[in-house]
Amino acid sequence: MLESWKLPISTIVLVATMLFGVMVSYQAARKGGFAPITEVQAAEATNKSVTLSEGRFLIGEVIAPTADAEAHFVKIEVEILYQGNIESLIEQKKHEIKEKISQMITRQNFMRLKEDFADGFLQMDLLKSVNAVLGRTEDAERAKKVTVSTFLVQ
């Protein structure tokens, strides 16, 4: 009769693991382990209630040579989407932003730039560079997205 109740070891381990997970979840819920999640959601809700001005700033065209052995030039037109009141800051640092973009282009070959542009990595790198040039502003007031409307390789 006991022979019919034998279970494989893997089934016993599986059931024990599931019971352990249920007990840990129950203890965490009982002690308030999930409270920080609701506090974060409440903080996000208050941040969304404050409306900040959003805008676009056209940096303009940047033409720079690539790091290839052959003579290649890349011409891109960059636009910054920002949130907050940082338009005057962007206007003041427009030349520095263009210089940083030019440096990024001259460090890479044109094939890598084309691939990064197609995959969206170029825009992410440009956003990091723009925010680095703008310096430490409030998290709510900063460049949120960089779009490249023109990308030409000559």
Confidence of residue 99 (pLDDT cuts 50, 70, 90): very high
Do 65 and 133 lie in a common domain?
Answer: yes
Q: Are 57 and 84 in contact (CB under 8 A)?
A: no
Domain of residue 112, residue span? 54-153
Query: Tokens 């030039």 — which residue?
Result: 73
Do 67 and 111 lie in a common domain?
Answer: yes
Do 35 and 58 lie in a common domain?
Answer: no
- What predicted TM-score, i.e. pTM, was given to this entire model? 0.61
Considering only residues 64 and 24, tell me which one the structure prediction assigns the higher pLDDT: 64
The encoded tokens of residue 122 equal: 């170029």
Q: What CATH number does residue 75 fall under?
A: 3.30.479.30
The encoded tokens of residue 129 equal: 């560079």
Do 38 and 99 lie in a common domain?
Answer: no
Instruction: Note the pLDDT tens digit of each residue in 35-80.
Output: 444 444 444 444 444 455 788 889 889 998 888 878 888 899 999 9
Do 58 and 45 lie in a common domain?
Answer: no
